[in-house]
Structure 1
């Protein structure tokens, strides 16, 4: 085969520093739009959906093979925290927690994961971000060294 072909959907999750409830409804939608624009326009990653809660974000996107997962998250987290601080959305300095979760999603599960992300507000009425994240760790059998 003379060409490299990839199609890797990623369910990305990252939280605010110390999991503080810093993502306010006053700028949450703007943040989602900003992240989508950054992913699609600069990194050329197709975004299927973005949502989250007051202390974390979920993104379902198609990974551009020219970038590593680490590069994508470093770029969007660094740039978006700068954007939040530059726009004075908060009375305190904003930053994201170190690290992220990135889980591959098969084509057959896209709609299910998309619905899960879209229903974050409802979902978190019954489960904390910490509980949700631990559930992902168990589901995907992520070992301590891979965290």
Structure 2
């Protein structure tokens, strides 16, 4: 049995272990996240996650999208967390002048839950994005994720700004 003596839950006798893999894209799936500053973006987003009371497990990005695996705490709704991540990182990228054009995230996101025993797989999956995308597009990857989780989706609306 594992006990924590100094950490208090917001609600007595409420415990959880939830891991969420978040995926979202740059607006219009444009390749705006550059290698020169992507690690700074990861550190900034890590700070947002931690300031919201969650734990970053793994983060990686490609020029057109981002993957984040977090230890999720139930005090905040997932949409509120994603909104905070997107809005604060957008402001930071634009304020720092990191992108040659105005940066924005695409509307929408994917949120997929994993059990603890699958974390090493998900961590490697996120770490190996560069290798994966030598063979597969982001959209192809995302559709596979939706299908493997049996998520109903309309292909017309997959990260499409026209919605």
TM class by smaller structure: over 0.9
- Say what the alpha-carbon RMSD is for the aligned residues: 1.3
**CA separation in 2, counterparts of 1:107 and 1:36?**
20
> Is 2:32 the counterpart of 1:10?
no
> Could you tell me how far 1:90 is from its partner in structure 2?
1.5
**CA separation in 2, counterparts of 1:142 and 1:134?**
9
In the alignment, structure 1 segments of 5+ residues that lack a partner are: none
Structure 2 residue aligned with 1:129: 138
Paired residue for 1:22, among 29, 32, 42?
32
Structure 1 residue aligned with 2:8: none
In the alignment, structure 2 segments of 5+ residues that lack a partner are: 1-11, 159-163
Structure 1 residue aligned with 2:9: none
- Whether the aligned pair in 2 keeps the contact of 1:43 and 1:64 (CA below 8 Å) is no
Q: Which has the larger radius of gyration?
A: 2
**CA separation in 2, counterparts of 1:102 and 1:37?**
19
3-state secondary structure, aligned to 1:61: strand
Q: TM-score, normalised by structure 1?
A: 0.94
> Could you tell me how far 1:142 is from its partner in structure 2?
0.7
3-state secondary structure, aligned to 2:141: helix
- Whether the aligned pair in 2 keeps the contact of 1:8 and 1:105 (CA below 8 Å) is yes
Paired residue for 2:57, among 41, 48, 56?
48
